[in-house]
Structure 1
Amino acid sequence: MADRAPVTAFPTHAVTNQPTEYLPCDLWATDAPLRDAVRREGAAWAEPALASLGTAAGSEAVMALGELANRHPPRLRAFDARGRRLDEVEFHPAYHELMTLAFGRRLHAIAWAHPRPGGHVAHAALGYLLTQAEAGVLCPVAMTYAAVPVLRAQPDLAAAWLPRLLSDRYDGRALPVSEKTGATIGMAMTEKQGGSDVRANSTRAAPLGSAAGPGAEHALTGHKWFCSAPMSDAFLTLAHTDKGLSCFLVPRWRPDGTRNAIRLQRLKDKLGNRSNASAEIEYDKAWAVMVGEDGRGIATILDMVHHTRLDCAMAAAGLMRAALARALHHATHRTAFGRNLRRHPLMGAVLADLALEVEAATALVMRVARAFDEAEADTAPHPFARPFARLAVAVAKYWITKRCPAVVGEALECHGGNGYVEEGGMPRLYREAPLNAIWEGSGNVIALDVLRTLEREPGARDALEDELAVIRGMDGRLDARIADIRAMLSNRNALELQGRRLVERLALALQAGLLLRHAPGAVADAFCASRLGGDWGLVFGTLPPGVDVVAILARAEG
């Protein structure tokens, strides 16, 4: 019998030329565009809270919670062991820990609990940081944040609900709200036959007494195709009365302490956002209270939609930043073809192009958040603050959410095959990337809403002119774009067909103006040359000659 060869270590098992671990990463300290935007738009007072969350959200522990919450998605428990209806959703403990983090940092309440200039900017910046760890919890947080102005319009409901909605204590227990230390609000508008056309809804509301109008009790019967965050303590929803589509608050528990007749039919098996539950629900004569004027439910609930659109734009920008940061880290610590990967001109051009997109998105989100602050201030800086906020949030939501999948996809490719592997984190970002373009109004709905706002909202066109007047004359390429926008607006017969084109141009003009005023010259010039000047290809990495890639990447790394 021949002697066996001695056992030796396999030389191929040595790991070389692989990046160091991305985590921990201080998400605030490494993001100069975010820090500058927060200070510029009025929330410098929130820097300690933002710095603290930036450290926490970029820690290995919190990032691991996001992974766990996605690997172990929520489960429906329709019945208990004895056959009694529960209509509850079970979450992995990681989800509850993330919700506790979000509520403890007052992400949902910082704009409302102690109002001060910059409150909505602080809210947007906190969400931008947390979404880089896990985006799923942003849905119930965003709904709770956005429900506050709707409930404030109904003083009796506000008195009962706001103390718990604005609490910094997350309480995930299935109990009547009177027994809880904190509460969340969800939303249920769309139905299977209508989708975004909520006027096609068939849910009916029958009065439970002789009273009518705001605050009146009703019984709701109908099926909702999408219910966001179905374990919320209450939902804002739409149903028909004799006067038309109206808005209602539907708690999970009746006033007598029994479970309300909200039947969870199934959970949606979604592409991404898997840590967050979305459900089909049935109202089986569910107890509800009317919110706002009878027959004007869409107008009432639009205040909530208006605020959730800010969070859609913010979350998309945060996802883009997370993807860029990971791509930069990989390229910085990887060698290919004899030199550092990011030093290759082609890779540098790709990374710089992505960095331009992310900084422009960040700047626009924070500017829109400031518009929310101005719109709600007792003395707005100009008479068009409210219509500008209404218009700009739709423009930002449309454009930034559309750019998100392209940015995340290109950033994933920077990793090569490693980008396609779950352990690296990029696939989860990629699955999440399309979501915010669909929720709270898909592209065509948003484009039509921008056109409708410009046509019908008093002061909307004046608000736009005011904003464009500030940036006119700063760059010839921007001036040409502004002239193009004016020409499109003057041709009303072709506006609907050109709706997407108009909104895209509006977004790019606003972004370019912000960068020209506030970003380093290398960033602003490259953005204008590529996005406005026409010297750009159809994919990232096709920037014009002469762009200062080194300066742009240094800015992106904070």
Structure 2
Amino acid sequence: MTSTSVQSPARSFAQPSSSATHDVTNQAPPLAPYDASADTALLEGLRREGAGWAEADVRRIGLLAGGAEAQEWGELANRHEPVLRTHDRYGHRIDEVDFHPSWHELMRVAVAEGLAGAPWADDRPGAHVARTAGGLVWGHSEAGHGCPTSMTYAAVPALRREPDLAKVYEPLLTSREYDPGLREPTSKRGLLAGMGMTEKQGGSDVRTNTTAATPTAEPGVYTLRGHKWFTSAPMCDVFLVLAQAPGGLSCFLVPRVLPDGTRNTFRVQRLKDKLGNRSNASSEPEFDGTVAWLVGPEGQGVKTIIEMVNCTRLDCVMSSATLMRKTLVEAGHHVRHRGAFGALLMDQPLMRNVLADLALESEAATTLTLRLAGAADRAVRGDAGEQAFRRIATAVGKYWVTKRGPAFTAEALECLGGNGYVEDSGMPRHYREAPLLSIWEGSGNVNALDVLRALTRDPATADALFAELALAEGADARLDSAVTRLRTLLGEATPAGARRLVEQMALTLQASLLVRHAPPAVADAFCATRLSGDWGHAFGTLPGGADVDGILERSLGL
């Protein structure tokens, strides 16, 4: 048996170079700090809808939102997710949720800047518009904490159905002081509100709720027994809850801590493991002898709480428009600094087409959001026409703008290529957030059918919508044709065709707003693509005649 040996090759190997192998070139620098309020369409809408007096505050919030510190808060609040503690160390049931300090910083700023209930205590015309504009820019920091601020904002008009309760709680819900921790509500400097509507057997079909409300000997006070399926922000101080009273489905106020300082029964069974919105705790609470106060008459729970839903639906539109703008800004920043095939991405015609198409969608969403906020502001001041417009247009906007969000954020992410698919770019977080907004406060089908319900039950809503569209009559032949088509669709409306109808309503309404208020470059391209069909099935298919340069200069300064 012979042995063999392995001989080293008769060659030498070069010594490692002393220079680095991973010099970083052709990468975009960090975006922050930047000005989240540097959005011409937003600032124009703020002034147009009656809140120009708030521009300095909105600009200040925008600089804060785009700052390195706030951006870091957003990242940390999502990296360190909330943790449920059902019991303390001694075995007492406490049902508390622990948050990272960054969450509390985000909440502190949001409440202090009036993004929770503050507008209800502000008599200035445009106060609700100012809040929405503030949300459009502060949302660049992080999306999840917008849930408790939105519910707190929305709870006030519903609570006003019971003046005695509103007298106690409204001053604290409209406070600009963030005061976390479960304590007796009237001992705090400010309160947060949540809502518990859905149950596992029914979801959006809340009339199938089984949570029972039993009257006590004290007038207006009940005890609840049941289980809620999706109750976000369980650390809030008070909740508006739907339950079945003897007179039918009713609305109740449930405090986490009772007036005598003891904990109300609010057993948090678990926190939801959600696709996105990870910084925000969403829970399944159980009620068992839980003390609650009736809000509004028995049997009118939906009618009582619908005002809250109208407000939170507007905030879904706002949040989706915010995500669009945030991811567009991220994409625009990237293409300014990234080169490929011998040129910066921002100078390459096809990339410019993609970005311009995204910019059109973003401006349409922002403009509609602020118009809806203006309607809400004027509606609460008694304008009947704006009340009717708000009723239908908010549901239309909720359906369409939130539907556009996921496709938009995916395209913006793709502008960054592989860099955008990496978690620490932040784009995956935005992408996971986007579908939420079309689901919460009624999925697409729920909102589309709600539009049909409004048209059937209140013909004034259709009159208000067409009155709005008539303000742009004659300015663009494509828009005039779209209005005519919409009238035809309205006459043929069926539940099966509700999505088709509502989509046309949304596009026609957005086009009318842009024709009236945006430069020709924006309005013409929107009408050509969204109304006349000179458009493909993906972003970046604007026709050759579109003023891409004009659109990008207005939106991103490119």
TM superposition score normalised by structure 1: 0.96
Distance 1:6 1:174 in 2: 65
Deviation at 1:132, TM superposition (A): 1.3
Give aligned pairs, total.
547
Distance 1:186 1:394 in 2: 21
Q: After superposition, give the CA deviation of every residue in 1:146-203 in whole Å (9 maximum; x if it has no partner).
A: 0011112211111111111111110111211122111000011000000010011000
**2:288 partner letter:** D
Match of 2:545 in 1: 546
| 1:171 is the counterpart of 2:179 | yes
Q: After superposition, give the CA deviation of every residue in 1:52-84 in whole Å (9 maximum; x if it has no partner).
A: 100000000000000000000000000011111
Deviates more, 1:202-211 or 1:51-60: 202-211
Q: Which residue among 247, 265, 279 is the counterpart of 1:261?
A: 265
Distance 2:73 2:509 in 1: 36
| 1:270 is the counterpart of 2:271 | no
Match of 1:144 in 2: 152
| 1:20 is the counterpart of 2:29 | yes
Match of 1:391 in 2: 392
Distance 2:411 2:466 in 1: 35
Asked if structure 2 preserves the Cα contact closer than 8 Å seen for 1:226 and 1:280, the reply is: yes
**1:118 partner letter:** G
Match of 2:3 in 1: none
Match of 1:341 in 2: 345
Asked if structure 2 preserves the Cα contact closer than 8 Å seen for 1:32 and 1:557, the reply is: no
**1:368 partner letter:** L
Q: CA RMSD in A?
A: 1.4
Deviation at 1:11, TM superposition (A): 4.4
Asked if structure 2 preserves the Cα contact closer than 8 Å seen for 1:205 and 1:240, the reply is: yes
| 1:484 is the counterpart of 2:485 | yes
- Which consecutive unaligned segments of at least 5 residues does structure 2 have? 1-10
Distance 1:239 1:10 in 2: 70
Q: What is the SS of the residue equivalent to 2:276? A: coil
| 1:80 is the counterpart of 2:113 | no
What pairs with 1:178-189 in structure 2 (closer than 5 Å)? 178-189=186-197
Match of 1:472 in 2: 473
Q: Which residue among 229, 242, 246 is the counterpart of 2:246?
A: 242
Distance 1:9 1:239 in 2: 72
- Which consecutive unaligned segments of at least 5 residues does structure 1 have? none
Asked if structure 1 preserves the Cα contact closer than 8 Å seen for 2:117 and 2:154, the reply is: no
Distance 1:210 1:137, change over 3 A: closer
Match of 2:413 in 1: 412
Asked if structure 2 preserves the Cα contact closer than 8 Å seen for 1:110 and 1:122, the reply is: no
Q: What is the SS of the residue equivalent to 1:419? A: helix
Distance 1:37 1:228 in 2: 31
Distance 1:210 1:183, change over 3 A: closer
**1:545 partner letter:** G
Q: What is the SS of the residue equivalent to 1:313? A: helix
What pairs with 1:63-212 in structure 2 (closer than 5 Å)? 63-209=71-217, 211=219
Q: After superposition, give the CA deviation of every residue in 1:490-519 in whole Å (9 maximum; x if it has no partner).
A: 124xx2111001111111111101111111
Q: After superposition, give the CA deviation of every residue in 1:501-540 in whole Å (9 maximum; x if it has no partner).
A: 1111111111101111111111110111000011000000
Match of 1:433 in 2: 434
Deviation at 1:4, TM superposition (A): 10
Distance 1:3 1:476, change over 3 A: closer
Q: Which residue among 301, 305, 308 is the counterpart of 2:309?
A: 305
Distance 1:345 1:331 in 2: 12
| 1:35 is the counterpart of 2:36 | no
Distance 2:338 2:41 in 1: 25
Deviation at 1:255, TM superposition (A): 2.0
Q: Which residue among 372, 387, 390 is the counterpart of 1:368?
A: 372
Q: Which residue among 294, 297, 301 is the counterpart of 1:293?
A: 297
Q: What is the SS of the residue equivalent to 1:374? A: helix
Match of 2:456 in 1: 455
Deviation at 1:472, TM superposition (A): 2.1
Query: Structure 1 residue runs of 4+, over 2 Å off?
Result: 2-12
Distance 1:178 1:467, change over 3 A: same
Is the radius of gyration larger for structure 1 or structure 2? 2
Asked if structure 1 preserves the Cα contact closer than 8 Å seen for 2:184 and 2:260, the reply is: no
Q: After superposition, give the CA deviation of every residue in 1:429-449 in whole Å (9 maximum; x if it has no partner).
A: 001011110000000000000
**1:323 partner letter:** T
Deviation at 1:7, TM superposition (A): 6.3
Asked if structure 2 preserves the Cα contact closer than 8 Å seen for 1:78 and 1:88, the reply is: yes
Q: After superposition, give the CA deviation of every residue in 1:87-109 in whole Å (9 maximum; x if it has no partner).
A: 11111111011000101111113
